[in-house]
């Protein structure tokens, strides 16, 4: 799967999908754990940027490289205050 890399400020122009892009609960749990772990690393001052692939309704799959500041069950907050709904996130590297 090919994802076009975008700048974080372009997130403001993305309309996110309504349904979760992951088809099963196991993959959703893995996604959640990776994102939560990224926020814990920040507290230990070892956090590095992550590549986050997500899906927009018109743009398809796109990616950003950023630090995860906070992960909640419904959304994540990236450095700079950008918000991504959890349901749109396909992969975290």
Token pair of 91, please? Answer: 């992969």
Residue pair 68/76 in contact by the 8 Å Cβ criterion: yes
pLDDT tens sequence across 28-64: 999 999 998 888 655 556 667 899 999 999 989 999 9
Maximum Cα–Cα distance across the chain: 37
CA distances from 18 to 55, 56, 70, 91 (A): 10, 9, 21, 17
How many domains does the chain divide into? 1
Has this prediction a pTM greater than 0.75? yes
List the domain range (segments joined by +) for residue 45: 4-92
């Amino acid at each position: 799967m090919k994802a076009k890399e975008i700048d974080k400020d372009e997130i403001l122009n993305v309309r996110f999908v309504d349904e979760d892009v992951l088809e099963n609960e196991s993959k959703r749990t893995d996604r959640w754990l990776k994102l939560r772990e990224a926020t814990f690393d920040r507290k230990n001052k070892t956090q590095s940027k992550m590549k986050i692939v997500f899906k927009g309704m018109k743009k398809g799959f796109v990616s950003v490289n950023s630090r995860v500041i906070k992960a909640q069950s419904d959304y994540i907050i990236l450095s700079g205050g950008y918000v991504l709904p959890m349901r749109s996130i396909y992969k975290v590297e």
